[in-house]
């Protein structure tokens, strides 16, 4: 994890990069220093996932102003012109670490980092790559868009469990991730709310059962299973109908975690380095969930943690982090990704 002022501007060879790109680079370098080894496999078997919500908003606005008000595109700085494409935000990271298998930027508001984890797990399970680097990076919104927001970055290196063990890697934990979409319009009537509840409950049950081959980690009385008293919850929800539906589903699926079945659902502290956020402006950054996941991964003595993120637009991401406890890391499921 990199928090401001962090690495932005800390290295002369990256000073012309957007701040979000500098944060992503610094976080990825820290992940490698912590034991991540994407170079343990050939370059064309290494992937990159870059997650951001507003990481280039300030730069885009400055470019628009230059083109519209300051004499046209000829006045754009050659150093920043490539960033007209948001996918270029991770280019320097891909080049530095020789991540040549694939590169993908996920820009879903608020859930981007958790969505990227789900995508990465699928890519690893499908054999699309042998290892990947996932970086979530943000910088504040420009003043004309209300200002504020998140800044900093978190980076993960992921690989299949068997591969990590074969090379003697330091394993931090196992991740199970699901991304869903709950159409806001479907929640306007009781039938739609019931379908959404069933859909969310199924996804939660899938995540909260234990690793294949091991004893189940029960979570729901509705499933006639015992609650998991050790499960820790981090909810990153807004006050929308979607957020309310997700909170109710979590309360039903994980009663042992102490979430009330009724009552207000407010965002819980996530550890994200947010700066002042003006009332009424949407929270689009993905660092809240990303930092919550990073804290869970780097807390080996902590309980399993379920990070839940949802927005009023309908995007829902669920990630369970199981810290590296030998009794839990005995088998591998296709949906698992390993963090080293």
pTM more than 0.85:
no
Nearest to 268 by CA among 295, 289, 250: 289
What is the Cα 322 distance to its own chain's centre? 16
Collect all residues with Cβ–Cβ distance below 8 Å to 75 and sequence separation of at least 6: 66, 67
Count the neighbouring beta carbons within 10 Å of the beta carbon of residue 224. Answer: 7
Q: Name the E strands within 52-206.
A: 102-106, 131-138, 149-150, 152-159, 173-181
- 3-state SS class at 77: coil
At residue 106, the pLDDT reads 94
> What average pLDDT does range 174-188 have in this prediction?
92
pLDDT at 286 over 60: yes
Helix 112-125, helix 287-297: angle, nearest 10: 60
Q: What is the pLDDT of residues 116-127, one digit of tens each?
A: 999 999 999 999
Q: What is the pLDDT of residues 210-269, one digit of tens each?
A: 544 444 443 333 323 333 456 788 888 888 999 999 988 988 876 555 554 444 333 444
Collect all residues with Cβ–Cβ distance below 8 Å to 199 and sequence separation of at least 6: 180, 182
């Amino acid at each position: 994890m990199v928090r401001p002022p962090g690495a932005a501007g800390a290295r002369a060879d990256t000073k012309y990069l957007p701040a979000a790109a500098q944060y992503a680079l610094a976080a990825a370098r820290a992940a490698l220093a912590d034991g991540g080894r994407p170079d343990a496999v050939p370059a064309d078997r290494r992937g990159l996932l870059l997650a951001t919500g507003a990481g280039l908003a300030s730069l885009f606005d400055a470019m628009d102003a230059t083109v519209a008000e300051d004499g046209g595109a000829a006045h754009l700085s050659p150093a920043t012109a490539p960033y007209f494409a948001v996918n270029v935000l991770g280019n320097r990271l891909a080049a530095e670490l020789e991540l040549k298998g694939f590169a993908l930027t996920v820009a879903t508001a608020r859930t981007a980092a958790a969505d990227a984890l789900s995508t990465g797990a699928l890519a690893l399970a499908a054999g699309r790559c042998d290892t990947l680097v996932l970086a979530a990076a943000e910088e504040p919104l420009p003043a004309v868009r209300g200002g504020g927001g998140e800044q900093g970055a978190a980076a993960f290196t992921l690989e299949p469990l068997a591969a990590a063990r074969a090379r003697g890697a330091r394993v931090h934990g196992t991740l199970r991730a699901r991304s869903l979409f709950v159409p806001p319009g479907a929640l306007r009537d009781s039938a739609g709310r019931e379908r959404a509840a069933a859909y969310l409950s199924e996804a939660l049950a899938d995540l909260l059962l234990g690793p294949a081959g091991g004893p189940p980690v029960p979570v729901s009385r509705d499933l006639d299973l015992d609650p998991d008293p050790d499960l820790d919850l981090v909810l990153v929800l807004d006050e929308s109908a979607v957020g309310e539906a997700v909170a109710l589903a979590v309360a039903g699926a994980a009663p042992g975690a102490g979430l009330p079945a009724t009552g207000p659902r407010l965002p819980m502290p996530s550890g994200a380095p947010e700066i002042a956020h003006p009332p009424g402006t949407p929270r689009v950054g993905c660092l809240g969930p990303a930092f919550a996941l990073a804290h869970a991964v780097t807390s080996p003595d902590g309980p399993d943690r379920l990070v839940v993120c949802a927005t009023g637009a309908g995007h829902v991401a669920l990630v369970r982090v199981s810290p590296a406890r030998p009794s839990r890391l005995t088998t591998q499921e296709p949906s698992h990704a390993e963090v080293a």
